[in-house]
Amino acid sequence: MHFHRQANWVIKENRATDEALFLNRRQLMAGAAAGVGAGLIAGKAGALPAESRFSPAVPRAGGFPHATSPITPERINSTYNNFYEFGSSKSISREAQALVSDPWTLTIDGDVEREIQIDIDDLMRRMPMQERVYRHRCVEAWSMVVPWVGFPLRALVDMAAPLSRARFVRFETFFDTEVAPEQKASWYPWPYTEGITMNEARNDLAMIVVGAYGKVLHKQFGAPLRLHLPWKYGFKSIKSISRITFSSRRPKGFWEELNAREYGFWANVNPEVDHPRWSQATEKPLGQDDRVPTQLFNGYGAQVAGMYAGMEGNRSTWM
Ligand SMILES: Nc1nc2c(c(=O)[nH]1)N[C@H]1C(S)=C(S)[C@@H](COP(=O)(O)O)O[C@H]1N2
Ligand SMILES: [Mo]
């Protein structure tokens, strides 16, 4: 199968150099904090501030395979989350407001020409920002559809200039027990980490997310930057990334470390390969009553299947 390196939905010119697009982020965050605070005082966890929109709006990627199923209502999505740093229930949106996402420095290290430390605002100004509507399929068999705002992971990989020996990319979440007391729990291998191959990192679909629903990313969504790999189970899409490390060795993620038999390295969505404890054939879209069939590669096979040619018969490709 032939895969061209640059798809037509990748915005070529760097729209992000338009200062007005981002420079408001600090103001936005201040507005968001005020809004969330007010919401919390009113006793509504996950109250959504109106002030946090990107202005002007980040353009939706043209010619892109946007999800066509209904977008999950923001209010539902922002109060049903997996973010174990703030608790193992889905109702962590209130606890997650303790996250300090501004200022935020991303470190890029390992097999690179030189280590980079970059402020999130600088990074956003340098990256080609766009909106993409993605399906997300959690390994627990629920799903959602989200209009993310962000940029192709490949643009960040290019900026990082990895050495030729780099074959994997490892992502690490912040570690701060003051902010996230759950990180004191010694039975978890904190901080949360995940890893993918360089080939996967350069795939057109791999996205670094900094916003959702046209707004700066809510803390419970993994502010200020997270990964989204829509063809893989959701646990691969690590939140609140503070470090990206290029490596010649395959990293072992948080869940693989905990239970490799249930949560593996590849974790590509496949309705025909069950989780050891439940079926993966169907999923429950958040906010909908009925279950729907799960799709191979979560419906993104045309864009990603070529990366796994010859691996289809291995159970580990789907776990
Ligand atoms: N750091 C971190 N990233 C994480 C998780 C987590 O617990 N901690 N949970 C993962 C799982 S299992 C899923 S399904 C998604 C959930 O994203 P959402 O809460 O925005 O829906 O985040 C993923 N990224
Ligand atoms: Mo998940």
Q: Is the dihedral of CA 138, 144, 148, 152 positive or negative?
A: positive
Residue that is written with structure tokens 């919390």 in the block: 40
Across-strand partners of 227?
A: 208
The helix (run of H) or strand (run of E) holding residue 226 is strand 226-228
pLDDT in tens, 124-180: 999 999 999 999 999 999 999 999 999 999 999 999 999 999 999 999 999 999 999
Mean pLDDT of the chain: 89
CA-CA distance, 53 to 37, in Å (whole number)?
17
What pLDDT band is residue 52 in, cutting at 50, 70 and 90?
A: confident
CA-CA distance, 247 to 250, in Å (whole number)?
7
Task: Give 148 Cα–ligand 1 centroid separation in angstroms.
Answer: 15
Q: Which domains does the chain have, with CATH numbers?
A: 13-317 (3.90.420.10)
125 phi and psi angles, rounded to 5 deg? -70, -30
- Under DSSP, the state recorded for 235 is G
The helix (run of H) or strand (run of E) holding residue 152 is strand 142-152
Judge contact between 106 and 241, C-beta under 8 A.
Answer: yes
Residue with CA at minimum distance from ligand 1 atom 19: 81
Task: Give 138 Cα–ligand 1 centroid separation in angstroms.
Answer: 9
What pLDDT band is residue 53 in, cutting at 50, 70 and 90?
A: confident
| Ligand (nearest to CA of 239) | 1
Pocket test for ligand 1, best of 75, 196, 207, 235 (most atoms within 8 A of CB): 235
CA-CA distance, 242 to 4, in Å (whole number)?
31
What pLDDT band is residue 198 in, cutting at 50, 70 and 90?
A: very high
* Helix (H/G/I), strand (E/B), else coil: 137: strand
CA-CA distance, 105 to 162, in Å (whole number)?
19
| Ligand (nearest to CA of 81) | 1
Q: Strands 207-212 and 142-152, how do they pair? A: antiparallel
The pair of three-digit structure tokens given for residue 3, joined into one six-digit string? 């895969």
pLDDT in tens, 168-189: 999 999 999 999 999 999 999 9
pLDDT in tens, 219-240: 999 999 999 999 999 999 999 9
Judge contact between 124 and 25, C-beta under 8 A.
Answer: yes
CA-CA distance, 119 to 141, in Å (whole number)?
35
Cα Rg of the chain, angstroms: 19
Residue with CA at minimum distance from ligand 1 atom 12: 235
How much is the pLDDT for 26?
55
Kindly give the number of the ligand 1 atom that is closest to the alpha carbon of 221.
Answer: 20
pLDDT in tens, 12-39: 444 444 444 444 555 555 555 544 433 3
Judge contact between 240 and 222, C-beta under 8 A.
Answer: yes
Q: Is the peptide bond before 189 cis (omega within 30 degrees of 0)?
A: no
